[in-house]
Every structure is written in structure tokens, then in C-alpha cells.
Amino acid sequence: MNHEDRKQIIDSVLAIDKDPTAHKLAEEVLLKAGALQSAIFNSANFSSIATDAKGVIQIFNVGAERMLGYTAGEVLNSITPAEISDPQEVIARAKALSEELGTTIAPGFEALVFKASRGIEDIYELTYIRKDGTRFPAVVSVTALRDAEKIIIGYLLIGTDNTARKQVEAEQQKLDQRLRDQQFYTRSLIESNIDALMTTDPSGIITDVNKQMEALTGCTRDELIGAPFKNYFTDPLRAEAGIKLVLSEKKVTNYELTACARDGKKTVVSYNATTFYDRDRTLQGVFAAARDVTERKRFEQALQESNVELESAKSAAEKANLAKSDFLSAMSHELRSPLNAILGFAQLMESDSLVSTDSQKESISQILQSGWHLLKLINEILDLAAVESGKVSLSLEPVSLSEVLSECQAMMDAQVKQHGISMSFPNLNQSSFVWADQTRLKQIVINLLSNAIKYNKPSGSVIVSCSPVNEDRIRISVHDTGKGMVPEKLAQLFQPFNRLGQEASGVTGTGIGLVVTKQLVELMDGVLGVESDPGTGSTFWFELRLTPAPDHTVGRSNLIAPSQPKPQTQTEQSTLLYIEDNPANMKLVEQLIALRTDILLLTAGSGTLGIELARTHRPDVILMDINLPGISGIEALKILKADLQTAHIPVVALSANAMLRDIDLGLEMGFFRYLTKPILVKEFMETLNEALDFSKK
């Protein structure tokens, strides 16, 4: 109730005696004031506490009872509002007011009403303590109650429960803190990224950047924000096109740009970007990351240059290797051509058909021995070159170990008898098969046997044995009773052309065979080793992978029967055309064919003449050299195969081009067989018989 209301009540009371109407009006005013006071003091939503001038509670309304848990009877004329307030807060308030107003204010009720007692509006927050000890925050409004002379007669404290608002404020604080934490976390992620990050609006104006972007451009964040994105690249149009591309494609990956810093430093970057939107899916702009790829570009450039150098080196190596192969092929051809005449005629002279003295026979034997040794040297050099260049073509298949050893035993029998050496082989199970190239496996075994015989002691022995290493592998060992080797020599054993001091021993050799043997074993997924004791002998062994026997095996005869001329009737005679430009080789074949009364020999000194004779006489078989004047043997073969008159005639190559690639090429081009010089009479006659059989069929 304000001052005007009280004045109106007093004036109404004074006028009661003077005027009956005034008496009635006074009653209405009192009723109105009473109803107002009743509504205030009985409100359950506010705690209304009225005290006397000393602070002792005089009125404690329903709202106060509900909020604080006390009944009016428990507090009236008993305690002050300070006793239901947090004492620490009351002390703190007294201290704060003392500092604010420059006067000492005692903790207690005085601190709660000091401002109101001075006519200062006072609303403050305070923690009330309920009867049960629980606490709740309250907002308290304090008013001083005065009489007509302005003397304070008490205080009115109206409080509201502030719990809900405090909870809202606490939640808001939590949300605010969470938002700040999230913003800090997001910013930390952005700043810790190794890439330069930025956002732009849809028009390409920068809206935010990280420290890496500042470092990339040499500009501060404030300088960058609000500036066009394209301004910081050497090609602004391409940079602007990158933004447009993101807006149209929604995403861009590995878009290359070159950033230009304020100091002129250029950095190649990989630009990756995507569009971003608000929660209503409204486009906000572009989020972009620019990764420094300068070092990667340098590495790629260096790698590209290295690749060019490697390709150049590879090309040079291939050319050098090809040149070496061509040189070896040419040398092989040049050496084989004279050897063909030497060995061919020596074989004829050695035959029983020619009468010779013992001295002549000895000389012929020496010629043949030296010739075959020279041929072996040539073959081993070619083998070594092929292996080192990786051009050895192996036909790996299941190979019968017992069959190979049996054939090798038969082939070495004459050499064993010549040296007076005993040789023993194991009795192998016919089902023992290894994964190997049959021809090369024979070469390996024969080379080891040949060395074991050559470097053995007089009347020594060679023992061949086989033993399983495990379920998958088998070891083949060749033991000799020779001088053996010291460890120093064993370390040099597989060096090309190193004969370990045997050059002066009188034993022929090249120092290549073991090198080739070892590499051939390894090409067949095997391993070769040696064990040797000086004065006792040496054991060379190699291991190969066992394999199941093939479904159908074809037995091979241990010995190849010597070639014999096919029986012919007196009137039946086959025609052989020999195309060769070397007179010595021509003479040799003429003498060999002279032993065959069943064959008529025609000769031609060039490919062109040979083609004319083939078309005119249509021989049964054609024997052709490769290196011919005019057109080569290969070109002549193509012409013969293209002519219906001569296409059916088997053409046998007889050439000093003995490289594996030459042989493979010849057979691929269509030669019936490919023989290499020097001629082996037995092989020559067998091949001739095969070609004649084919022709007649």
C-alpha cells in the first residue's frame, strides 16, 4: 500500500463524523485496502515477510510458508530473515556493501535492508535455507515501511523462487561453454591441419583461413578475409575457374594451382574443395584445402628424369647386349665354318673307307681331338653368353631321372674306358621324376661326369648317387677319387675361365662348364654345391624338385643306333639340292653324299641359283646354308614356301649360325630341321633320312 492509499484512508476516517456519505465511502476504502493486502499476503507465488524496525518477523505469508517450509507461528516474533538466509552470503553482502558505500555494515539483518533503510531501491539474489536444510536461490525485493512522520517502522521483503531461472541460466552456460569448446575444437582442427584451409562465399571472397594459409600467402588473417580468393595465385583465371568448378560439380580433387606469396615465393599446391551449406540446405560457399606439393613435383620431375636416364641406360645395355650377341654369333659363324671343313674331312679320313698309315691315323686323331675341343669351347662360350643375358629358353617338364642317368652313362662309357676309370650308377625307381629341361639336365650330368673323369687319379672311380633331401627334393651327387681342392680354390670354383691352376696339367678344359652348369641348375629352381677334401676327392651335387610322373611317358632307348642308308631299289634314287657358297663345305657334303648311292646331289652357289634349280628339278630334299651371297637362306626359304611347285619340299638348314636365337628363328620360319656346323656325320645322315621319309610321304 503506497502513501497515497494510506492518506486517502486517513482523510476518509476524519470525514466520517461530518458526513454520513463520507462514512460509507471510508468503509469502501478500508474494504478495498484490506482486500489488496489480503491478496498480497496470501499469494502462494511470492514469499512476503514483514518485520519490525529491528528485523523481527511480524508477517509470514502463505507463499513464504510454502517456499521455506516454516509455519507463520514458528517464525513470528522469533527470528529475522537473516536467520533463514545463507550466512556466508550475508557476510559477503555486508563486506561488499561496506566497500561500495564506504561505511561499516555488520553481517546480519542490517546487511539485508541497509540500502532500503537509506531509501535506495534494493533487489538482490540470495540463497534461502528451508526448514529441512535444503536451499534454493531467491530474488528478494526490500522496501522500508514508514509512518506518517517518515520514521521506519519495519521492512517488507518480497521474494520469488529463482531455481527455474538459475537452472535455465546454468543450462545456457553449459550450452555456451559447449559451443565455445566446439568452436575451440573446430579451430584447433583447422589450425593443426598441414594444408592451407580457407572458406569463401559463392562469389569467391575469402571468409576464413587458417595459419597455413597465412604462411602460404604471407598475409594475415585480417588481410585475407574479404579479399578475392583468386588474387593469391599466379593464374587468377584458373583459380577463379576452380571455384566455379566446385560450385557446378560440388567437389574438386587434385586441381593444381601455383600460390604466390607476398614476397614472390611460389608454391605448387593441390587444390581440393567442396561446397558447404547451412541447416536449411542453403549454399554458404566453398571449403577449400591447398596442399603443398612442390617437393612431390620436384620428386616426380627427378623421377621422370631418372626414368629417362634408366631407359637410356637400359637401351644402351640392350644395344650392348645385342652387339655382344651379334659379335658372338658372328664369331661363332666364322669359327664354325672352317671347323666344319676341318672336322668334316677329318671324320671322313678317320673312316674305314680310307686307307691310312698309323702315323696318319694318329695325326687325324689329334686334329679331331683339337677340333672337338675348339668346338666345345665355342659352344660353352655361347652357352655362358646366353645364360648371362637371360635368353636361355628352358622347356620344364617331368623328366625321368633314371632315364637321363642311363643315357648319360652310355654316352660317357667310351671316355671312362679311355681313362681306365670305374663308374657306378644307382638303381633308381622308374617313377623318380624331376622338374627339369631334359636336354639341359643331360648337359649338367655329362659336365659333372666329364670333370670327375678328367680330374681323377689313374684307375680311380666315379660314383653317382641319389638321395632324397625331403619329400619334395632329391640330390644327385657325383663323387670322384681325384686330388680334391683346398678351400681357397673352392672359393674360385665358379669364376668363368678360371681353371684353378689346371692349365699346365695337360688336361683340356675351358673353365666355363661349371659356371654354366651352376646357372642352369638354378634356372631349374635347383641348387648346386661341392664338397672336397685335398688328397681324397671331390663330390659335386645338385638338388632338383621332385614331381609326379606324367600320365603318359614315352620310353627312350639308351643308345641311338648309327644311321644307315635306306635300302633303295636300283632304279629308285632321291635328289638332294645343296645350296652353299663355301667351296670347302660344298666339297665335304659332296664326299659325304658320295657314300650314299641312293642320293643324287645337285649343288648351287647362291640362293637365286638354288631357287631356279629347285623349280626345275624339284628335289626331294633341300640342304641350305643361311649366309648366302645375294639373298639369304631365310629369304630363299620364304620364296620356296610361297611357290606351289616347291612349297612341299622339306628344307634343312645347315649353318654356322649356332646361337639359340638363330636356331629358334630358323625353325619358326619353316625349316624342317636346323643343323649347325661343324657337321656331325651321324647326326647329318639321320636328319637326311628323316627329311627323305617326310618327302616321300
CATH of residue 332's domain is 3.40.50.2300
526 and 400 belong to one structural domain: yes
Residue 551 belongs to some domain of the structure: no
Residue 529 resides in a domain = yes
Over its C-alpha atoms, the chain yields an Rg (Å, rounded) of 59
Distance CA 287, CA 22 (A): 83
Residue 541 belongs to domain with CATH number = 3.30.565.10
**pTM for the predicted model, two decimal places:** 0.39
Same domain, 400 and 541: yes
User: What DSSP line would sit under 498-526, residue for residue?
Assistant: --TTGGGSS----S-HHHHHHHHHHHTT-
Q: Is residue 30 part of a domain?
A: no
Report whether pLDDT(649) > 50. Answer: yes
Rounded alpha-carbon distances, angstroms, from residue 78 to 65, 84, 138, 217, 605: 15, 12, 22, 77, 149
pLDDT top residue among 83 and 179: 83
Q: For the residues 633-638, what does the mean pLDDT come to?
A: 92
155 and 259: one domain?
Answer: no
Shared domain check, 495 and 398: yes
**In a shared domain, residues 135 and 92:** yes
Q: What percent of the chain has pLDDT over 90?
A: 34
> Mean pLDDT lowest for which of 310-314, 595-599, 682-686?
310-314
Q: Is residue 181 part of a domain?
A: no
- Here the CATH number for the domain that contains residue 203 is 3.30.450.20
pLDDT at 328: 63
Of 236, 257, 292, the last residue of a domain is 292
Domain of 464? 392-545
Mean pLDDT estimate for the chain:
81
> Residue 206 in contact with residue 199, Cβ under 8 Å?
yes
Looking only at the bridges linking them, the beta strands covering 651-655 and 621-624 are: parallel
pLDDT computed for residue 34 by the predictor: 55
The answer to whether residue 176 sits within a structural domain is no
Region of 169 on the Ramachandran plot (φ > 0 left; ψ -120 to 50 alpha; else beta):
alpha
Same domain, 258 and 349: no
Which range has highest mean pLDDT (208-217, 310-319, 355-364)? 208-217
594 & 665 share domain: yes
Asked if residue 578 has pLDDT above 90, the reply is: yes
Domain match, 145 and 258 both: no
Residues 482 and 412 in one domain: yes
pLDDT score at 565 = 46
Per-residue pLDDT at 611? 92
Looking at the DSSP bridge assignments, the partners of residue 621 are 576
pLDDT tens digits, 525-549: 999 989 888 888 899 999 999 988 8
| Cα–Cα distance for residue pair 136/552, rounded to 1 Å | 102
Mean pLDDT to the nearest integer, 80-99: 93
CB 61 within 8 A of CB 48: yes
Per-residue pLDDT tens digits for 346-385: 676 766 555 567 666 667 776 766 666 666 666 666 665 6
> Does 550 have pLDDT greater than 80?
no
Q: Which three cell numbers stand for residue 66?
A: 510454502
Question: Is the predicted pLDDT of residue 7 greater than 60, yes or no?
Answer: no
DSSP string, 306-338: HHHHHHHHHHHHHHHHHHHHHHHHHHHHHHHHH
CA distance 63 to 47: 4
Using the predicted structure, report yes or no on whether residue 313 has a pLDDT greater than 90. Answer: no
Rounded mean pLDDT of 131-142? 93
Average pLDDT over residues 114-121: 90
Q: Using CB atoms within 10 A of its CB, is residue 127 exposed (0-12), middle (13-18) or buried (19+)?
A: middle
pLDDT in the model for residue 566: 46
- Co-location of 400 and 526 in the same domain: yes
pLDDT mean over 610-619: 91
Q: Is the pLDDT of residue 345 over 90?
A: no
pLDDT higher than 70, residue 504: no
Looking at the structure of the chain, the number of domains it has is 4
* Residue 470 within any structural domain of the chain: yes
pLDDT at 89 over 90: yes
- The pLDDT assigned to 335 comes to 65
533 and 571 share a domain?
no
Which range is least confidently modeled, 241-255, 266-280, 363-377? Answer: 363-377
Q: Are residues 288 and 227 in the same domain?
A: yes
> What number is the average pLDDT over the span 312-319?
76
* pLDDT attached to residue 483: 83
- Predicted local distance difference test score (pLDDT) of residue 658: 75
Q: Which of 477, 512, 545 is the last residue of a domain?
A: 545
